[in-house]
Amino acid sequence: MRFNMLLGIIISTWLNIAIADDWNNYLIDSQGNPVVTQNNECVKTPQSPNTTFMWPDKCYNNQGENNINIQNINLAGDIMFAFNKAILSPQAGDILTSIIAQTDMYSLQSIEIIGHTDSIGSESYNQKLSTERAKNVANYFVRLGVAAVKIYYYGEGELNPIMPNTTKMGQAQNRRVTIKIR
């Protein structure tokens, strides 16, 4: 009986460590959830290009494939930029590098980048800020080797919120960048 309990504890501990180690290979958003594409595929970190770890209730990866066809990604603004700024954070560079590393550049048709803001500030200021953020993401992709003619960027300012701007949490979720890769 004691042996079975001890064996159960050892296996459980080992499994939890293995899951935690594998899960560190994926990009996590500001709420602690994996960054997931429209096809429910997890976006991997630059350090894990060949990882095929399965997390069925959150996302899945195509086993054996190095490049994931990413179609639609929403990145939280608080990870990408400081509040009220358009300069990419160091963490943003890692995330964008990871996204491009997983993109099949031969079949890449276009990358559309859309900047969004909350409703703090004037509508014209937010429009300008969201466009600058999208432009900086586009410029980063060009530096990574993506052809500029395949990149389209624009800002929607505060016009397309995904949450009400009445709370701090809603405002934080509305500050984001959407990347559509075709």
How far is C-alpha 178 from the chain's CA centre? 9
Give the range of the structural domain holding residue 161, as residue numbers without chain letter: 2-181
Q: What is the pTM of this model?
A: 0.64
Cβ–Cβ < 8 Å for 150, 111? yes
In angstroms, what CA-CA distances link 49 with 25, 104, 147, 151? Answer: 9, 13, 22, 23
CATH label of the domain that carries residue 41:
3.30.1330.60
- Could you report the per-residue pLDDT of 40-65, keeping only the tens digit for each? 566 665 544 433 333 334 454 444 34
Which of helix, strand or coil describes residue 72? strand
Residue 165 pLDDT > 80: yes
The number of folded domains in the chain is 1
126/113 Cα distance (integer angstroms): 16
Could you tell me the pLDDT band of residue 7, with boundaries at 50, 70 and 90? very low
